Amino acid sequence: MNLTRYQKPDLSWTSFGRLSSLRDELDRLFESPWAELARTSQLWSGWTPALDIHEDKDNFTVHAELPGMKREEIDVSLHDGALSISGERKAEKKFEAAEVYRTERFFGKFQRTVTLPAPVAADKVKAQYQDGILTITLPKTEAAKPKQIEVNVN
Amino acid sequence: MKSIVQTNPKPTAERTAPQEFVAPVVNIFETDDGYALEAEMPGVNKDGLEITLEGNEITIVGRRAPVRVSGTLLFRDRSTADFRRVFELDPAIDTSKISAKMEQGVLTLGLPKSERVKPRRIAVSD
């Protein structure tokens, strides 16, 4: 599993339009699906969906790219503070007999697990699948939320 | 000092960096009736899709639906760039009958062949 923690750049791309990361540069250099492919080394290990994780004071939000799936084919589970997204994408049967010109899409089983940096309330986790993006909202447990402590200065 | 030449009349909100695109991965199949093209564009819905036909070339552009996420980014490996890819079409394709369907981030184009090039069975008379 290739999971590296996101390193915030000194000048974030959100504030300065597009100050590209090295990966963006590389993607542009190759400008082909192969760049995408090499990035996740899908060629050797099936495929792993790309995902983003955001954190605010109440929730973790995970967005995973799973284009062309059915809701029931996606499994989301939480175990010991580790979130797992797994499933199987099946190829469409109707093109089985057809002559194939290009096959760049990946089918088959996938799994991706990420460890969350703080405990979440497992019973309040929500998942939604729309436009090929799986959005998982994981509310933090009360204990994990930042607390304001009032200090009286006399 | 004020410049005489107004170089960028657009308001800041509209001004963006040069557009970057990533190429969506595709599968292309051929059957007797025509071709089918599937392109993966996660985060793009029907409204973000622009398909243009120019002569023999079809251009697919998919713009990701804006997502509002609060909080700080902990980890990222999704691209934020929009999708774009150009394909040259087989002249046998009847360009007036091209169909497009968008479902869960996958665009499926139906590219039927024109009637005259479809394989036909010729009846033999006695």
Q: What is the pTM of this model?
A: 0.71
Query: Across the interface, which of B36, B65, B74 has its CB nearest the CB of A55?
Result: B74
Residue type present at position B26: V
Whether B33 has a pLDDT exceeding 70, the answer reads: yes
Chain A residues in contact with B30 by the CB 8 A cut-off are: 98-101
- Going by C-alpha positions, the residue among B29, B76, B21, B94 that lies closest to residue A92 is B29
Are A139 and A121 in contact, with CB atoms under 8 Å apart?
A: yes
Query: Across the interface, which of B38, B71, B79 has its CB nearest the CB of A27?
Result: B79
pLDDT of the residue at A29: 59
Q: Looking at chain B, how many residues does it have?
A: 126
Edge-first strand listing for the sheet containing B26-30: A99-103, B26-30, B34-40, B106-112, B99-103
The ipTM (two decimal places) reads: 0.75
Q: Where are the alpha helices (H) located in A3-148, listed in sequence order?
A: 22-30, 33-39, 42-45
The model's pLDDT over B62-100, given as tens digits with 9 standing for 90+, comes to: 999 888 887 899 988 888 899 999 999 999 999 999 999
Chain B residues in contact with A57 by the CB 8 A cut-off are: 71
Q: What is d(CA B22, CA B83) in angstroms, rounded to the nearest whole number?
A: 5
Average pLDDT, chain B: 85
Using only C-alpha atoms, what is the Rg of chain A?
19
For residue B121, give the DSSP letter.
P
pLDDT of the residue at A144: 79
Numbered residues of chain B with Cβ closer than 8 Å to any chain A Cβ:
16-17, 20, 22-31, 35-36, 38, 40-45, 65, 67, 69-79, 81, 103-106
Q: What is d(CA B79, CA B43) in angstroms, rounded to the nearest whole number?
A: 11
- Going by C-alpha positions, the residue among A133, A90, A149 that lies closest to residue B67 is A133
- A106 min Cα distance to partner chain B (Å): 9
- Going by C-alpha positions, the residue among B39, B83, B72 that lies closest to residue A52 is B72
Contact assignment for A131 to B76 by CB distance below 8 Å: no
Whether A152 has a pLDDT exceeding 70, the answer reads: yes
Whether B7 has a pLDDT exceeding 80, the answer reads: no
The model's pLDDT over A37-79, given as tens digits with 9 standing for 90+, comes to: 554 444 555 678 999 999 998 999 999 999 999 999 999 999 8
DSSP string, B17-81: PPP-EEPPPEEEEE-SSEEEEEEE-TT--GGGEEEEEETTEEEEEEPPPP----SEEEEE-S--P
Chain B residues in contact with A63 by the CB 8 A cut-off are: 67, 69, 78
Q: What is d(CA A107, CA A89) in angstroms, rounded to the nearest whole number?
A: 5
